[in-house]
Amino acid sequence: MELKDQIEEKAQRATFAAKKLATLSVNSKNYALLVMADALEEHMEKILSANDQDLANGVVKKLGKPLLDRLMLDTIRIKAMAEGLRQTASLPDPIGEGLGSFCRPNGLEIQKVRVPLGVIGIIYEARPNVTVDAIGLCLKSGNTVLLRGGSEAIKSNMAIVDILTAAAYDAGIPVGSIEFIENTEHEAVNMMLKLNKYLDVIIPRGGAGLIRTVVENSTVPVIETGTGVCHTYIDESADLKMASEIALNAKVSRPAVCNSMETLLVHEKIADSFLPEMITALTAERVEVRGCEKTMKYNESIIRATEEDWSTEYGDLILSIKVVATIDEAIEHINQYNTKHSEAIITKDYNNARKFQKQVDAAAVYVNASTRFTDGFEFGFGAEIGISTQKLHARGPMGLEALTSIKYLICGDGQIR
């Protein structure tokens, strides 16, 4: 069978299953998710063995450390994925939720309710946990899913999909609700982007190149999950100890993820007090620092930042630093170079905090906290399908509600127009 026919067949099965899954009871969905969580832990060795093969291939392909970190699974991460499924099961079911009702003067009674989107296509790169999060959230929200992961994690993804589909179908989930495209050629992605007849939406998760390809070439509606050029601004009134701890966490806790800080902005009035120790702490964590001219005077190891640096998502232990004269300059810089993902201000000034949150254009805007919290699990969503940086339909960490649409239910007694 040709690749196009294979992909269409999977999409057809998902479309057929969607009609059944949409009407499945919440108890049935929750039971299946719990069974699936147990199955992940029971078959942990199978997943780890597959992941070892992916990691070995990644080393041969000379993948960078950040990418290998995203790819790597261990018992802790697998247990966290299972816990994500259990948390998703514990969340309220959005399907069928009433969002309001009213009666028109002509007697028509109109009710607004949540319904599944239908069939969701997920295109993603080297993070096997996305496979679990996507399947769990889609099933709980009544959506079937067509997955296409990257070549770097193909063994891990196939093992996870095998385990979860077997558990889900044994637990009563309609066959076809979980479909996975094993082919890792770019041609498979191009074909998936044209499946208007079957897919209701496509959600890309990965680097800027993948997201741009999907957005520019898809004829299926796309929810754009963004790259993360995230900033932390240290205001002149900031608690410097707090600022140092937050900035260090935002950069080094997991530099490969999209909510890590890429640019640090520092008010010039506290730069002398803050930057020397901050730069020392960063270099101790093996962070390569690139800075503006004012920043460079604090340490001879600092590389001069270029225009390109301000708009780059490094995904690595690299950080750009800029000294600014005012909060307005900081806000202007952020709005010029950010990707509308996550931004933070560290300040004791209430008015500056409010100004920053009102004027910065991003999905998540923090006061005195690390940007690393932009995450579905941390927001209490159980997991996330991605972090949307666009403004239509969904924005920020996308949990269950973001995977629903609405339907109007109208009842009359013979009205005609």
pLDDT for the residue 280: 95
pLDDT for the residue 110: 97
Q: Which residues pair with 291 in a beta bridge?
A: 304, 321
pLDDT for the residue 273: 96
> Quick one: average pLDDT of 117-130?
92
Please say if the pLDDT value at position 369 is more than 80.
yes
Span 297-355, pLDDT tens digits: 999 899 999 999 999 999 899 999 999 999 999 999 999 999 999 999 999 999 999 99
Please say if the pLDDT value at position 383 is more than 90.
no
Quote the CA–CA distance of 62 and 56 in Å, as a whole number.
Answer: 10
Quote the CA–CA distance of 133 and 88 in Å, as a whole number.
Answer: 9
In the chain, count of helices (H) and strands (E)? Answer: 14, 16
Distance of CA 171 to the CA centre of its chain: 28
Out of 21-30, 209-218, 375-384, give the one with best mean pLDDT.
Answer: 21-30
Chosen CATH of 230-373 out of 3.40.50.300, 3.40.1160.10, 3.40.309.10, 3.40.1440.10: 3.40.309.10
Which of 46, 66, 68, 48 is CA-nearest to residue 58?
68
pLDDT band at 127 (very low <50, low <70, confident <90, very high): confident
Among 35-44, 65-74, 78-87, 339-348, the minimum mean pLDDT is found in: 65-74
* Domain boundaries defined on the chain: 3-225+398-411, 230-373
Quote the CA–CA distance of 341 and 154 in Å, as a whole number.
Answer: 28
pLDDT for the residue 313: 92
pLDDT for the residue 133: 92
Encoded tokens for 225: 């999950």
Which of 254, 265, 406, 405 is CA-nearest to residue 315?
254
Span 185-214, pLDDT tens digits: 989 999 999 999 999 999 998 877 888 899
Kind and range of the H or E run holding 48: helix 44-60
Q: Which residues pair with 367 in a beta bridge?
A: 345
Encoded tokens for 417: 């127009």
Span 217-232, pLDDT tens digits: 999 999 988 788 999 9
Please say if the pLDDT value at position 382 is more than 80.
no
Query: DSSP class of residue 371?
Result: G
pTM for the structure as a whole: 0.86
Please say if the pLDDT value at position 139 is more than 80.
yes
Please say if the pLDDT value at position 158 is more than 80.
yes
Task: State the virtual CA torsion across 5, 8, 9, 12 in degrees, nearest 10.
Answer: -160
Cβ neighbours for 62, distance < 8 A, ≥ 6 positions apart: none
Amino acid occupying residue 210 = L
pLDDT for the residue 410: 96
CATH number 3.40.50.620 given to 3-225+398-411: no
φ/ψ (deg, to 5) at 346: -110, 115
Q: Report the mean per-residue pLDDT for the chain.
A: 94
Question: What is the CB neighbour count within 10 angstroms for residue 192?
Answer: 25
Cβ neighbours for 104, distance < 8 A, ≥ 6 positions apart: 110
pLDDT for the residue 137: 95
Quote the CA–CA distance of 16 and 119 in Å, as a whole number.
Answer: 10
Quote the CA–CA distance of 92 and 29 in Å, as a whole number.
Answer: 11
